Chain A
């Protein structure tokens, strides 16, 4: 059974950066896309970007281009999402999620527990 375990909650100052980790276990890591999806309080789901570890190149949503960096460490089956130039509107729960099928970004059938990032001065 695949499990995604994310790092703990963070409180950050405006203008700083945050890096959230997502450790996968129980399945093949390299060939399944990991996406990052965020959810602001009381709001809907927003895809930020994703990466297929074996290819190594991330795709980003236009809204976050230039401000988000998604990477992986295949040796530890861990994905990372770093968001820079934080502002209050970035306060949200950040989820990592794995695609159901290999080598594509489609539907997401395994999700991490979520990481709350609070941006406040």
Chain B
């Protein structure tokens, strides 16, 4: 099973600053199978990025994804007040028992 490790655990930034979030996989992940989500307190997660770099419908262009192999990055170019939330990466791959999804542990982006 592929393990996803996100860093840092918490990112303290001010509105207008750039946020760079990392997701590292224990083995190579196809770029087609890497996604990012945003979750706010009391809400379900929201899909931001799929295929490592494609924005989901309605996602502002300040959100961008990049990376390949085992290292992936989510960048928020200029933080807006509504961007302070927890972010998760997710991969879709195979396991001995068939198809499986795994999530990283999350990065909290908080107001400095």
A contacts, CB < 8 Å to B:
35, 37, 44-47, 50, 59-62, 65, 95, 97, 100, 104-109, 111-114
Contacts and interface: CB of A to CB of B under 8 A. Distances in A.
Contact of B103 (A45, A50, A100, A113): A45
A23 B105 CA distance: 28
Q: Which 8 A-B pairs have the closest CB atoms?
A: A111-B44, A107-B35, A107-B50, A59-B98, A47-B101, A45-B103, A109-B47, A106-B92
A52 B70 CA distance: 28
**B interface: dominant SS:** strand
Given A108-B35, A109-B47, 15 more contacts: A37-B45, A44-B103, A44-B105, A45-B37, A45-B106, A47-B101, A50-B99, A59-B98, A62-B96, A100-B50, A105-B99, A105-B100, A111-B44, A111-B46, A112-B44
13 contacts: A45-B45, A45-B106, A46-B103, A59-B98, A59-B100, A62-B96, A95-B44, A95-B45, A104-B92, A106-B50, A107-B47, A108-B90, A111-B45
Interface residues of B, number: 29
Interface of B: 1, 32-33, 35, 37, 39, 44-47, 50-51, 56-57, 88, 90, 92, 95-106
B32 to A, nearest CB: 8
Contacts of B103: 37, 44-47
Given A45-B45, A109-B56, A62 B97 contact: yes
Residue of A65, A97, A108, A114 with most chain B CB atoms under a 10 A cut-off: A108
A114 B44 contact: yes
Contacts of B39: 45
Given A44-B88, A44-B105, A47-B103, A59 B44 contact: no
Given A44-B103, A107-B92, A59 B97 contact: yes
Nearest to A100: B50
B100 A47 contact: yes
B44 A113 contact: yes
